[in-house]
Amino acid sequence: MKILANDGISQSGIDALTANGFEVITVNVAQEQLVEYINANDVKALLVRSATTARKELIDACPGLQLIGRGGVGMDNIDVAYAKSKGLHVINTPASSSASVAELVFAHLYGGVRFLYDSNRSMPLEGETNFKGLKKAYAKGVELRGKTLGIIGFGRIGQEVAKIGLGVGMNVIAADTYMEEATVTVSLFNGESIPVVIKTQTMETVLAESDFISLHVPAQKDYVIDASAFSKMKKGAAIVNAARGGVIDEVALVDALDKGQLSFAGLDTFENEPKPEIKLLMHDKISLTPHIGAATLEAQDRIGEELAAQISSLLK
């Protein structure tokens, strides 16, 4: 039985699938050629990440397809309900990349409060000729410890972000439409752990009280954070989006940065991927990464192994 991992899969995932009798194809097929390739090669399972889409048209055109798998959490690039209505299995790996995304959030936060997003641009250009000037320019950093971290969307990834925040010594608050409280367990190096109960609050409270906000919500029809939301935030606060593109109004974000309402922003996802707006890419108060939240070797191994386990259970 053939499986097309069109956006790639870890070697550990390939090994696990091969051991169970599956043939794994890792060639990257262009989206417009995908239907023809699936049908010509009798592919039974299509595995994607965020680059490849599996819409109604593809599902209808590939009657031999039995399973669509998403290596990661969000499945907005798959017509999930329609696929299931056609009898296809649709799977994802919601827990595998949570820790990796959470660590990237803090990479943006630490880089933001110490101006690394800008100094890494300026030092190669001016480090030799304007060292003292740059030192003065970046001398007003702040610590995360003791500050309030607001998490909007308190699922698996949001809770992983909370764990790091608690470990850093931050006051962690959260907003979630579907959850009243969650017990976040902070694991220590010696195997011991500390459970912390966090009760969710209103969106307005989180916006008003947070020094830093991290978004962990799925893609939606409307913006989660728009101009009105920015106006409710503390002056000089910062925001990180390592969730999905389109949950932030990027025009309003640039305006809030330009007016000083926000001190900086960290973006891993963008409304217009893979071609983010140039105003975002060139802005001197935005820390940028190209949608790499789940892109660690450890997360990819976990994703591959989890996909392999589910596929083996469903199709073997």
Kindly list the catalytic residues. 244, 273, 291
8 Å CB contact between 117 and 287: yes
Neighbours of 284 (CB within 10 A): 11
Q: Where are the beta strands (DSSP E) in 110-223?
A: 148-152, 171-175, 181-187, 193-199, 212-215
Radius of gyration for the chain, computed over Cα atoms and rounded to the nearest angstrom: 21
Residue with tokens 């979630």: 176
Distance CA 216, CA 157 (A): 7
| Burial environment of residue 246 by CB neighbours within 10 A (0 to 12, 13 to 18, 19 or more) | buried
What would the two tokens of residue 75 be? 């499945």
Q: How many CB atoms neighbour CB 141 within 10 A?
A: 11
How many CA atoms lie within 13 Å of 112's alpha carbon, on the beta-carbon side?
28
Euclidean distance between CA atoms 286 and 276, whole angstroms: 13
Q: Are 29 and 58 in contact (CB under 8 A)?
A: no
* Two structure tokens written together for 63: 């009657």
